[in-house]
Amino acid sequence: MSKPTSTPARASRSRKPVLYGAGVVLAAALLGYASYRATAPDSTGSTASSPAADVTAEPDAGVYPELAKLARRDAGDKLAQGRADAPVVLIEYADFKCGYCGKFARDTEPALVKKYVENGTLRIEWRNFPIFGAESEAAARAAWAAGQQGRFWQFHAAAYAEGAKEKGFGEERLKELARQAGVADLARFARDVDSSAASAAVGKDQEQGYGIGATSTPSFLINGRPIAGAQPLETFTEVIEAAAKQARGTEDAKGGKDGGDGKAGKEAGSGEDGAERAK
């Protein structure tokens, strides 16, 4: 799987925020500041551990409707999990070479899946956001290719396993990860990795990430609310609960049904917070 040559999508990439609508500039500034807070050293020289997002009990605090519209809610999306009509959508912009992304994938995401995805409250949509060079982009294309055979989340788990990124994401390594993920047709996988469709899909996600002002990985949107860094589980729990509460209120006002049980309370998370920035 050789590295594709430059494509129009790749050549037209911009790191400047895109104006999706009124208020998105403020959201981009918030996400950029949160990204800085998540990686800024404190006075002792260690990475900041306070939450990058200011989480409050108000369900609509810090929510940008224009960003909420970025949720695709496509039932056929191979890089998503959870009901397409779930009341809460978490969009993750991440890089497979990002250590903090791996920490979120191993320590936090499984708990969110068990608690919220499985009961229909939450949908998780992945966006490839490679910011660490050629191997990052190759891994992103490989993940997309695995998804074409219904094995994206299995590839995701293999690529984010403890110590996986230290082995790199060269051609043979990506094939091995595909085998671990249970990708059935490895010849098709290799073709898909090098395809213009893979490059276009990754480029589209990356452009969207830069467009909302993301400068580090992982970065998240939860129903239009920006969060930067691998925050503690309790941060995600609080934001998801607030978003579910808001969604229930909206449905109640319309006379609709509740989109999730929303019974889960706050849980204490573990591990340090953070994000990784492109060098």
Mean pLDDT of 122-138: 98
pLDDT band at 255 (very low <50, low <70, confident <90, very high): low
Quote the radius of gyration of the chain (alpha carbons, Å): 18
Cα 124 from Cα 92, distance rounded (Å): 7
CA angle at 182 for the pair 177 and 187, rounded to the nearest 5°: 75
The confidence score (pLDDT) of residue 199 equals: 98
Mean pLDDT of 195-221: 95
Q: Which tops the pLDDT comparison, 49 or 215? A: 215
Q: What percent of the chain has pLDDT over 90?
A: 64
Cis omega (within 30 of 0) on the bond before 218? yes
Mean pLDDT of 95-105: 97
- Give the tens place of pLDDT for each residue, 157-195: 999 999 999 999 999 999 999 999 999 999 999 999 999
Mean pLDDT of 199-224: 95
Q: Which tops the pLDDT comparison, 179 or 27? A: 179
The confidence score (pLDDT) of residue 274 equals: 77
pLDDT band at 277 (very low <50, low <70, confident <90, very high): confident
Q: Which of 109-118, 239-248, 254-263 has the lowest mean pLDDT?
A: 254-263
pTM of the model as a whole: 0.77
What would the 3-class secondary structure string for the chain be? CCCCCCCHHHHCCCCCCCCCCCCHHHHHHHHHHHHHHHHCECCCCCECCCCCCCCCCCCCCCCCHHHHCCCCCCCCCCCEECCCCCCEEEEEEECCCCHHHHHHHHHHHHHHHHHHHCCCCEEEEEEECCCCCHHHHHHHHHHHHHHCCCCHHHHHHHHCCCCCHHHCCCHHHHHHHHHHHCCCCHHHHHHHHCCHHHHHHHHHHHHHHHHCCCCEECEEEECCEEEECCCCHHHHHHHHHHHHHHHHHHHHHHCCCCCCCCCCCCCCCCCCCCCEECC
Cα 158 from Cα 169, distance rounded (Å): 12
Domain architecture of the chain: domains with CATH: 15-43+53-221+230-269 (3.40.30.10)
Cα 61 from Cα 43, distance rounded (Å): 30
pLDDT band at 78 (very low <50, low <70, confident <90, very high): very high
Are 212 and 25 in contact by the 8 Å Cβ rule? The answer is no
- Give the tens place of pLDDT for each residue, 212-240: 989 899 999 999 999 999 999 999 999 99
Bridge partners of residue 226, in order along the sequence: 221
Are 117 and 244 in contact by the 8 Å Cβ rule? The answer is no
- Mean per-residue pLDDT over the chain, rounded: 80
